[in-house]
Structure 1
């Protein structure tokens, strides 16, 4: 196996015509150049130079190796330059998996900032709901995934994946009840879940529906689920038509609101935690690390604007007592 350092020195020797001239070009001593050329000839198994008087000439094998050395060194130089552009965040690719409401709120702002500050970074976006999105990350189908969970206590990934993942808490998304515009409880600033025990309900995705059913059980009733759909606009349209009421994360209403509905915080308060995940080995990649930071800062700004009421974002807040990202 040829050593690239020896090939560089060999190229300089042939190009400059002598060991001493190559040494001056490379900043080496002449004995160091001679030693490298002897090592290269041992690797090649044949002489690479002949000397006629003071003239140093490549042998046939030397000429052949020189032609290949030019291509090899050119390829190595191109590879070094390309890797440098990735390291300096001039280029790179990150595959991002997200769920729909984050894809309509957090992601556009984050991608716009990346495009402005690092136009060479390419973000490829796919949409998958948790827990499938975490499985996609483990299968290597994406580099970063956004997911949510409703479990009590601090946000954390599923136990079976916790050791493999870096977790970055993004925001707490307060769940609201979606009511028709003419509903009498619309006049309240907050709605107690128990006051909706007699209502018909429109349920969403299975992950959200499981949390909703548990919340109703804690409030002392079993909900009458009249319709089930994963389509957030369809849920709101059914509510607007008077077909029922719905549980919905505030992040959804911040990007998609039917004019015929109103969202009100529900008591007891319910939240879903939005978290970014990547594999520990992926976090070492500069573009992935950059995207995590931008997602974190974008979410913090969305939460702050939501709390200040400046952007129409419903029920967003920084992660409650958020620990430092698990890195």
Structure 2
């Protein structure tokens, strides 16, 4: 895990211990070959992912406000699908519509579904009180 984050094992362990002390709960189960998140660790991870998604959305909106460009297209799918199945189409789209922002977020499926549900509530013509529930049909 530390290597993936470009951090030392010691630094990551210290951060985890601090979070465990702050929450009063174990966040990872230490095993001989690494660590596995506990239920509390998964809850915290999910919250962080949602927070980062919200920050990303806010930065996008601020950029739109600053540049005067609004809207875009987001393709919410895995990076393998983008790379192997839609690469040519994405390239053609970007060439044909250079001023349209095209996002291909790489995130866990749960975060992608959350973004889709949030985005569907902000589409033009959608009632502001509308509540969307999006579920994956793939299990």
Structure (1 or 2) with the greater helix fraction = 2
Structure (1 or 2) with the greater strand fraction = 1
TM-score (norm 1): 0.19
Structure whose CA Rg is larger: 1
Looking at both structures, which has the greater relative contact order when contacts are Cα pairs under 8 Å and sequence separation is at least 6? 1
